[in-house]
Structure 1
Amino acid sequence: MRRSAEMSLWQGRLDSADGPDALRWHQRTHPYRPDTPPGTVLLGVCSDEGVRRNQGRPGAAAGPDAIRRALAGQAWHLDGPLYDAGNLMIDGDNLEALQEEQAGMVATLLDAGHFPLLLGGGHEIACGSGCGLLRHLQRKKQTGRIGVINCDAHFDLRNDPRASSGTPFAQLSAATQEAGFSFHYLCLGISRPANSAALFRRAAELRTVIIEDRELVPWNLAPVENRLHNFIADCDALYLSIDLDLLPAAVAPGVSAPATRGLPLEILEHLLERIRRQAGKKLRLADIAEYNPTYDIDGRTAKVAARLCHLLLNNSPPSHQEHQEKQKT
């Protein structure tokens, strides 16, 4: 069931004395309606049933509205309209029905030319996000290679009989292949101690591009950037998923499974900028999962999630370093 946007969440300071360029997100966000012109649509998925099934700590169901509150006060630097489509709510513990409803809503948004940015919720939302893209491509009779970039400490490829936060990419792989599409999976930030040998074997069977957290060090990012470049170049449509438990626990304490090591935020931001700029229109949708406000400290994790939303949607000019690299080529 979808609840309409609660626009009272979108409030914050007003800097009217500084003129029209001093706007904040709460002043530029509008409720989504089926006839709205194409833009970015925020959609919350209020579920942590998948986390519970995966033996994690619940609380992520409250994540979407907490992220909205953090977004509301951010300075506005975006182009194009931004809409809030409200939240999808789970009916009891029926996660499978929620994933089906989410896939339908995502496909509808994509059909209308929107860029869906989903806010979780547990990482079970990835199944609905990816299947929504698949459904959209089928409707448009498009073929090609679907690429999934999962920024996560975990593969989420469990072979459990019931859907959970540990199964979404296994579900998506099966659905994609059943529909006759080619499925390509890249995991950025995998923690070896957090994934069993069986999961590494399953990832290998799917020919997953694996980039472990220990590889992501600032003095040796060029090989990682090359692997990302090649992966994106080989795909026709991309879906990007960010699990906040990828980040160090000190940076993102409000998650279902805090990271022991984690990937520094500045490295994640750098790589996300690379992905966004190279992918361009190939990037059809994104989601941010596993924010759990129950365990957040001083709203740190909500602020990180809001910052990542800004990064994914901001079309600012390339950095000085990127500009120099482009000139060399």
Structure 2
Amino acid sequence: MGVVDIYTDKDVWSGRIDDDTNPASFRFHQVVQVKDLDELKASAGDFGIVGFESDEGVRRNKGRLGAREAPDAIRKQLAKLPYHFGGQTVDTGNVQCEEGNLEQAQVKLGRHVAGILEAGSVPIILGGGHETLYGHYLGARAYIGPDKTLGIINIDAHFDMRNDPEPSSGTMFRQILEEDDKAGYLCLGIQAFGNTKALFETAEKHGSAYILEKDIGVNDFHETFAAIDDFSKRYDYLIVTLCTDSIVASAAPGVSAPSPLGLDPKTVRALLTYVAGKRHLLSFDISEVNPLVDERDKTVKLAAHLVAETMQNFHS
């Protein structure tokens, strides 16, 4: 069995109870319902969570392993947070990569993401290495069909456009742009010394837009938000992905490739909040959280807060 679906243990959704009768006092663990995908389709929620238990792409990219542990680790921290928005959130479990069969796992994740969208819910995808994004993309493309245009916004220090012999956590955007002439790519937070000159040339060859880390937030984000607007208006639909190694290592040490000059967490929150407000945004994934190399759950906790912030601001 190369790839299987596993359903989340309800025990990960537990935490403090201030009041078990007043919804205004509820935390995530008191609201989230654990259902399989068929149950979600029968009774849709506003958000559908799915995890991707994979770090095979990171292994192929010669990174630090451990991201496959992230989905449930993020859930445990998310469970404790106050639930500050209306609507129903359903946890549909994890897609698991086994025996190194990344390509099959990505297809499985794509089907799962498409199923959440078809149920009328917003997919919230908990990676996993950044190879999660390719499965995320497959699901969005399957849902919108072949003729609609799709813009992909990536908050990342790296282009992830490597021309390697096999797919990995460093190849997804080149794969997509070479396969899909109706897809476009905007990367926010690129680091000059996180990418070779050849990767900058690859990005330009494929018409990719990007903003360097040092230029994010200039002029009170006016230029950054204008660039997001300009990119977004060219596409029928958007998806957004956050690679956690875009965040400064002091705040996010638990990633495959820590960044000493990464983005401040509040900057990342501002970017996600702005993108989440786009009415044609379909879905969100967070990737590259690695609990095995984290420091006192610092990165996992930050990931949970960024997930909650993005959900709160979705289509706001």
Normalising by structure 2, what TM-score? 0.94
Aligned ranges for residues 292-303 of structure 1 at < 5 Å? 292-303=290-301
- Would you say how many aligned residue pairs link Structure 1 and Structure 2? 309
Which 5+ residue runs of structure 1 have no aligned equivalent? 319-329
Q: Render the CA deviation track for 1:101-123: whole Å, top value 9, x for unaligned.
A: 11111112112211111101100
Aligned ranges for residues 122-271 of structure 1 at < 5 Å? 122-138=129-145, 143-177=147-181, 182-217=182-217, 219-271=219-271
The CA RMSD over aligned residues, in Å, is 1.7
The AA in structure 2 aligned to 1:68 is R
Partner residue, 1:120:
127
Q: For the residues of structure 2 that align with 1:238 and 1:185, how far apart are their CA atoms?
A: 10
> Do 1:102 and 1:129's aligned partners in 2 also have CA atoms closer than 8 Å?
yes
Partner residue, 2:312:
314
Indicate which of 31, 45, 55 corresponds to 1:28.
Answer: 31
Note the C-alpha offset of 1:99. Answer: 0.8
Q: Render the CA deviation track for 1:172-199: whole Å, top value 9, x for unaligned.
A: 223323xxxx111000000110101111
What SS does structure 2 have at the residue aligned with 1:109?
helix
> Do 2:73 and 2:300's aligned partners in 1 also have CA atoms closer than 8 Å?
yes
Runs (4+) of structure 1 exceeding 6 A deviation are none
Normalising by structure 1, what TM-score? 0.90
The AA in structure 1 aligned to 2:238 is L
Note the C-alpha offset of 1:3. Answer: 0.3
> Do 1:123 and 1:165's aligned partners in 2 also have CA atoms closer than 8 Å?
yes
Q: Render the CA deviation track for 1:143-183: whole Å, top value 9, x for unaligned.
A: 33210000000111111121100011122223323xxxx11
**For residues 315 and 196 of structure 1, do their structure 2 counterparts lie closer, same or farther at Cα, with a shift above 3 Å needed?**
closer
Q: For the residues of structure 2 that align with 1:288 and 1:217, how far apart are their CA atoms?
A: 21
What SS does structure 1 have at the residue aligned with 2:170?
coil
Which 5+ residue runs of structure 2 have no aligned equivalent? none
Aligned ranges for residues 79-118 of structure 1 at < 5 Å? 79-118=86-125
Note the C-alpha offset of 1:218. Answer: 5.2
What SS does structure 2 have at the residue aligned with 1:16?
coil
Q: For the residues of structure 2 that align with 1:104 and 1:114, how far apart are their CA atoms?
A: 14
What SS does structure 1 have at the residue aligned with 2:150?
strand
The AA in structure 2 aligned to 1:32 is K
Q: For the residues of structure 2 that align with 1:316 and 1:83, how far apart are their CA atoms?
A: 16
> Do 1:12 and 1:72's aligned partners in 2 also have CA atoms closer than 8 Å?
yes
Q: For the residues of structure 2 that align with 1:137 and 1:16, how far apart are their CA atoms?
A: 41
Indicate which of 54, 66, 70 corresponds to 1:59.
Answer: 66
What SS does structure 2 have at the residue aligned with 1:286?
strand
Q: Does 1:78 align with 2:85?
A: yes
Q: For the residues of structure 1 that align with 2:155 and 2:50, how far apart are their CA atoms?
A: 19
